[in-house]
Chains A and B, each alone.
Chain A
Amino acid sequence: DQQVKQNSPSLSVQEGRISILNCDYTNSMFDYFLWYKKYPAEGPTFLISISSIKDKNEDGRFTVFLNKSAKHLSLHIVPSQPGDSAVYFCAASPDTGNQFYFGTGTSLTVIP
């Protein structure tokens, strides 16, 4: 039972444009959300997080939006750069110290 879903396996975006990666979850107890970025042959690296008390968190070119009523979060990358090409995983947890549930990932390709 996939509690965190990333319905787009892949996404292609032109360099300089906005990349929007989406994530849906089913468990209303999820309270803390993260995005990870993964390059081939490497482990995922932490990108940005958001807790349920906020609806937006921004870090440089990366912004995560959370819509709790829709159980939906999204990651915006503006402007997209070729180095952003990677697989992006969203993850959710009932709290920061608990098990995280990951989505299946979205492979982003930024075209120069």
Chain B
Amino acid sequence: KAGVTQTPRYLIKTRGQQVTLSCSPISGHRSVSWYQQTPGQGLQFLFEYFSETQRNKGNFPGRFSGRQFSNSRSEMNVSTLELGDSALYLCASSDLIYGYTFGSGTRLTVV
């Protein structure tokens, strides 16, 4: 079956702009989580959605938001981009039994 699909793969934005990233989970997976990966920080948890509801939220400012649609697809939005937001953003879907399956990520560069 198809894996987790993240679009776009690469993105360059200017400081102050906003960006929306998309994630399509594995068919049948209702949980979608978002992580930020930066050098030296590992994977930092952003938030998790389950059945269109945010269940968990990490320690990120309110500029980072997300949502999940009825088909389990999820979007993540970052407003008023800062240089420090440059990172690999990973989406992971889960059937809540065996852990996560990650997408390939979206590499965001803020200039």
Question: Contacts of B98 on A, CB cut-off 8 Å?
Answer: 46, 49, 96
Chain B contacts with A in 60-111, Cβ cutoff 8 A:
90, 92, 94, 96-105
Tell whether, in the assembled complex, residue A89 and residue B43 are in contact, meaning their CB atoms are under 8 Å apart: yes
B102/A44 in contact, CB under 8 A: yes
Docked CA distance A41–B102 (Å)? 12
User: Chain A binding site: helix, strand, loop or mixed by DSSP?
Assistant: loop
In the bound assembly, the distance between CA atoms of A91 and B99 in angstroms comes to: 10
Instruction: State whether A97 touches B41 (Cβ < 8 A).
Output: no
A79 to B31: give the CA distance in the assembly, Å. Answer: 36
Query: Are A43 and B42 in contact (CB-based, < 8 A)?
Result: no
With A96-B99, A100-B100, A102-B35 known as contacts, the answer to whether A44 contacts B90 (CB < 8 A) is: yes
Per the bound structure, the CA–CA distance linking A96 and B95 in Å amounts to 10
**Closest partner residue, chain B, to A9 (CB atom):** B40
Residues of B within 8 A of A97 (CB): 31, 94, 96-97
Interface status of B21 (Cβ within 8 A of chain A): no
Q: List 18 A-B contacts (CB under 8 A).
A: A6-B42, A42-B104, A43-B90, A43-B102, A43-B103, A43-B105, A44-B90, A44-B102, A46-B101, A96-B98, A97-B97, A99-B33, A99-B48, A99-B56, A99-B58, A100-B33, A104-B42, A105-B42
**Is A28's beta carbon under 8 Å from chain B?**
no
Is the pair B42, A100 in contact by a Cβ cutoff of 8 Å?
A: no
Chain B residues contacting A45 (CB-CB under 8 Å) are 102
- Looking across the interface, which residue of chain B has its beta carbon closest to that of A32? B99
**Which residues of B (23-57) have their CB < 8 Å from a CB of A?**
31, 33, 35, 40-45, 48, 56
Q: Does A62 touch B at the CB level, under 8 Å?
A: no
